[in-house]
Amino acid sequence: MDQTFGGGGRVFKFLGVHIPIYENCKVVLAIVETAEGLNLSDFFPMLARFDFQGVEHRMKTQVKKFDYIFETTIEERTNSKSKMSEETVKQERRKDFLQILLELLDQNTATSITMTQLKALVVDIFLGGTDATSAMTEWAMTEILQNPKVMKKVQDELAEVVGLNNTVEESHLPELKYLDAMFKETFRLHTPLHFLLPRTPDKSCVVGGYTVPKGATVFLNVWAIQRDPQNWANPSEFNPERFLNNKGSEKWDYSGTNSTYFPFGSGRRRCPGIPLGEKMMMHILASLMHSFDWSLPKGEELDLSDKFGIAMKKKMPLVVIPSPRLSDLSLYS
Ligand code: HEM
């Protein structure tokens, strides 16, 4: 996607199509009908008030449902019976996330938060912590099934690090270098937020010869950057080795400082859940791959098409058959 901003710029190139903005409303309406899942108001803010796709209406309905779930949970916690007693906190030596937030509620201090802020934080953690993590684990599993050599390497590494008479523990994760490279390659090809979160410059600036006016909505196409043949050899090939062979000072991580690879975003809006998301995905996939061999149902073929959402998911859910891999069956109980 690229856009000619400012001055007389009136052409928008989207999915390879040059679309004249404003002059030809029919074109815009045709896209409204075909762009399933894409919110056109993100690309043409002037259309937002018409809510052509009913996105705002659906969002408000969902917000009401979310509100109901969170309010009930918060009420349950704040009523005296289920409140975490000081004794429980002392015994378990920890508080859960909700308890910490509730203690910050309406305190009249610098760190105090309101009920609306509390609910927003819970929604962030709830959605961010589940949607992208499960979508990425499914993509990783799909790529492993698509590439039997990768599956063998992942399982050989697990057998060596964990052992076939043991289950995966958190302490094993830093030693699983190949699994880590396999995830990095999955993130390169199936980056969950193709355009990241929208940015808005507070000053007009020039980027790559284009003027970006103050207040414009800017989308960064990380999907295209991570598949750009100028940055990556054989970009559509699934090859975890490219993340094992570090060249010179090149560092592969999720810090967002490498301009060719930043699946968790970059700068101040970078994902704050990286350590948790990374650990959850590694632990889930390592356990699945270590404990079971996986195959597709007879006659089934893998489908790699995706579907637009908060995170880019597989269009068709992955269906696979597990068979036990560990000799000690008591490890499965
Ligand atoms: C595999 C797992 C995850 C992936 C791939 C992922 C990816 C991302 C990406 C690409 C962004 C946008 C960053 C940008 O525009 O610069 C983002 C934002 C965010 N993520 Fe994650 N995320 C994951 C897990 C999590 C978890 C576990 C949490 C919370 C527990 C979380 C919470 C958030 C929040 C709150 C934001 C918004 C930050 C802001 O508004 O500035 N994410 N995530």
Q: Per-residue pLDDT tens for 72-86? A: 888 888 776 555 566
CA of 123 to the centre of ligand 1 (A): 12
- Among residues 270, 238, 266, the alpha carbon closest in space to that of 151 is found at 238
CA 148 to centroid of chain Cα atoms = 25
| Cα 24 to ligand 1 centroid, rounded to whole Å | 36
Q: Indicate which atom in ligand 1 lies nearest the CA of residue 262.
A: 10
| Helix, strand counts (H, E) of the chain | 10, 9
Name the band, by pLDDT with cuts 50, 70 and 90, for residue 248.
Answer: low
Among 127, 131, 138, 264, name the best residue to mutate to test ligand 1's pocket (greatest count of ligand atoms within 8 A of Cβ): 264
- Which residues, at least 6 apart from 114, have a Cβ–Cβ distance to it below 8 Å? 105, 106
Q: Per-residue pLDDT tens for 15-24?
A: 433 433 333 3
User: What integer is the mean pLDDT of 303-330?
Assistant: 88
Q: How far apart are CA 7 and CA 66, in angstroms?
A: 43
CA 192 – ligand 1 centroid, Å: 10
d(CA 292, CA 286): 10
- Number of Cβ within 10 Å of residue 40's Cβ equals 19
Q: What six digits make up the tokens of 183?
A: 């995830």
Q: How confident is the model at residue 59 (pLDDT cuts 50, 70, 90)?
A: confident
Task: Give the closest residue to 197 by CA, choosing from 119, 57, 310, 315.
Answer: 310
- The neighbouring-strand residues paired with 182 are none
Average confidence (pLDDT) over 204-217: 91
Q: Which of 10-19, 22-31, 314-323 has the lowest mean pLDDT?
A: 22-31
Q: Using the mean position of ligand 1's atoms as its centre, give its distance from the Cα of residue 272 in Å.
A: 6
Nearest Cα neighbor of 196 from 280, 88, 307, 312 is: 312
Whether 40 contacts 53, CB under 8 Å: yes
Map tokens 């993340």 to a residue.
243
Q: Distance between CA 258 and CA 252 in Å, rounded?
A: 8
278 CA distance to ligand 1 middle (Å): 11
Atom 36 of ligand 1: nearest residue by CA position: 271
The average confidence (pLDDT) of the chain is 83
User: Rounded distance, CA 218 to CA 211, Å?
Assistant: 12
Can you give the pLDDT at residue 178? 97
For ligand 1, which residues put their CB under 6 angstroms from it? 124-125, 128-129, 132-133, 136, 192-193, 196-197, 264-266, 269-273, 276-277, 281
What gap in Å lies between CA 61 and CA 165, rounded to an integer?
A: 50
Q: Ligand 1 pocket: which of 97, 271, 280 to mutate (most atoms <8 Å of CB)?
A: 271
Which residue has the CA at smallest separation from atom 37 of ligand 1?
271
Burial readout 56-72 (b: 16 or more C-beta within 10 A, e: otherwise): eeeeeeeeeeeeeebee
Report the pLDDT value the prediction gives residue 23, as an integer from 0 to 100: 36
Q: How far is the CA of 67 from the centre of ligand 1 (A)?
A: 21
Most confident of 148-157, 194-203, 296-305, 320-329: 148-157
Whole-prediction pTM value? Answer: 0.80
Whether the per-residue pLDDT at 5 is higher than 70: the answer is no
Q: Checking phi first, is residue 328 left (phi over 0); if not, alpha (psi -120 to 50) or beta?
A: beta
**C-alpha of residue 198 to centroid of ligand 1, in Å:** 13
Which ligand 1 atom is nearest residue 130's CA? Answer: 27
Distance 330 CA to ligand 1 centre (A): 37
For 214-222, the CB contacts below 8 A with 24+ separation are: 216/5, 217/42, 217/45, 219/1, 219/42, 219/195, 220/195, 220/196, 220/266, 221/1, 221/194, 221/195, 222/191, 222/193, 222/194, 222/195, 222/196, 222/262, 222/263, 222/265
Cβ within 8 Å of residue 283, ≥6 positions away: 168, 170, 173
Confidence band for 102, pLDDT divided at 50, 70 and 90: confident
Asked if 241 and 181 count as a contact pair (C-beta separation under 8 A), the reply is: yes
